[in-house]
Amino acid sequence: MIKNYVTEVCRGGFDAHTEVPESTENGHRMLLESPASVHETRVLDRTVLAPGVVLLGFHAPHLVSVTRPGQFVMAIPPGGERAATALGIYEAQGERASILFFVCGPRTRELAELREGDQLAVTGPLGNGFTFDAAKDVAIVAGGVGIASVLLVAQSLVQMGKRVRLFYGARSAHLLVERDRFAEEGCELICATDDGSLGHHGFITEALTRAKEKPDLILACGPSPMLRAASSIARELGVPAQLSLEETFACGVGGCWGCVVPLDRRSAQAPNFPPEGAGGGEVVMARICKEGPVFWAHELRW
């Protein structure tokens, strides 16, 4: 049996304020006191949304009460000898939270085999979250499994009375899972598929470029090439964008410095070292799991 010690996927989210955060005096933000813990849960429901795409609901009232849109959990399958997997928190309401994932390796396969009543330990919520208070017209861009990290933020935005357009791309129509759900939640849907089976035939970022009305905030979660494209579109439109980055994690809690991304030193999210003038110049390495996974696109130096 092949075990995994680093994550197969990482999906994250953003924090809840709107302006690009002001840098503090030394140019760095203090990390918030972590509300995270280990949650011993049981699987409440399991739905196969498409071949290899699974939605797992579990009983975790405490997790629900402290989760912000865009955060993730590390899911530890029972037995404890297999590695944890970082997964965006899809739903969080009442006593039930859920994760939505594509089976892409041995661990996600193991998670996919869990059934109602099975034990599932998760650590979380982890990472920061999306920042969205001041926006009025938000474009959410989701590619493939990136959809797992954007439902909570879409719900919050709709509740706050904002316009939410979901630009949602996947390889094929059947992999555009949960699109009816987002419509029911009050999102306007624009879809794209690689094979042309639904919506725009091509990349979802092309559909974003063609959108007639300019959003005032872009939130994106998906594969790195999509995030880079969303980032350059945002720059051309002059619209701020937040990207929930994808990277291999080991610890998921900021302990190993394996999942870093080059970030502008002036970013409020930049870790405070190396100190200015002592190496790295204007760029520092930030942990995607801890300082992120959500970063302002214009502050990334990747």
Partner 1 sequence: MVGTVDLSVRIGKLDLAYPTLMGSGCYGSGEEFAPFIDLALIGGVVLKSVTRAPRLGNPTPRLVQTPAGMLNAIGLQNPGIEWYLEHEVAKFASRTCKVIGSVAGFSVDDYAYVSQRLAARSEIHALEVNISCPNVGSEGETFACDPNLTARVVKAVRTTTDKTLIVKLSPNVTDIAGIAREAEAAGADALAVINTVRGMAIDVNTWKPRLGNVTGGLSGPAIRPVAVLAVYEVARAVKIPIVGQGGIETTTDALEFFLAGASAISIGTANFTDPRIPVRIADELREYLAAREIGSIREIIGKANIGLSGPFQYEGDEG
Shortest distance in whole angstroms from residue 250 CB to partner 1: 5
Among 19, 22, 25, 81, binds partner 1 (CB under 8 A): 81
Shortest distance in whole angstroms from residue 295 CB to partner 1: 14
Shortest distance in whole angstroms from residue 291 CB to partner 1: 12
Kindly give the pairing relationship between strand 217-221 and strand 200-201. unpaired
Q: Which is nearer to partner 1, 92 or 192 (CB)?
A: 92
Residues β-bridged to residue 120: 41
Q: Which is nearer to partner 1, 112 or 250 (CB)?
A: 250
- Cis before residue 106, ω within 30 degrees of 0? no
Shortest distance in whole angstroms from residue 73 CB to partner 1: 12
**Helix locations, 93-139, DSSP H:** 106-112
Q: Which is nearer to partner 1, 13 or 252 (CB)?
A: 252
Q: Does 83 bind partner 1 (CB under 8 A)?
A: yes
CB pairs under 8 A, 24+ apart, for 228-234? Answer: 228/302, 229/203, 229/205, 230/141, 230/205, 230/297, 231/297, 231/298, 231/300, 233/205, 233/208, 233/209, 234/297, 234/298
Interaction with partner 1 in 51-80: which residues (CB under 8 A)?
76, 80
Interaction with partner 1 in 124-153: which residues (CB under 8 A)?
none
Among 169, 215, 252, 293, binds partner 1 (CB under 8 A): 252
Taking a C-beta distance cutoff of 8 angstroms, is the pair 246, 269 a contact?
Answer: no
Distance CA 51, CA 102 (A): 9
Shortest distance in whole angstroms from residue 211 CB to partner 1: 32
Distance CA 187, CA 166 (A): 6
Q: Does 187 bind partner 1 (CB under 8 A)?
A: no
CA distances from 88 to 67, 125, 207 (A): 11, 9, 25
Q: Which is nearer to partner 1, 145 or 260 (CB)?
A: 260
| Cα 64 → chain centroid | 16
SS3 110: helix
Q: Which is nearer to partner 1, 77 or 240 (CB)?
A: 77
Q: Does 255 bind partner 1 (CB under 8 A)?
A: yes
Among 142, 175, 187, 259, binds partner 1 (CB under 8 A): 259
Q: Which is nearer to partner 1, 30 or 238 (CB)?
A: 30
Query: Which helix (DSSP H) or strand (DSSP E) does residue 85 occupy?
Result: strand 85-93
Q: Does 32 bind partner 1 (CB under 8 A)?
A: no
Q: Does 2 bind partner 1 (CB under 8 A)?
A: yes
Contact flags string 105-124 toward partner 1, x per CB under 8 A = x---------------x-x-
| Cα 27 → chain centroid | 25
Residues that bind partner 1 (CB under 8 A): 2-6, 8, 34, 36-38, 76, 80-84, 105, 121, 123, 247-261, 272-275, 278-280, 283-285, 290
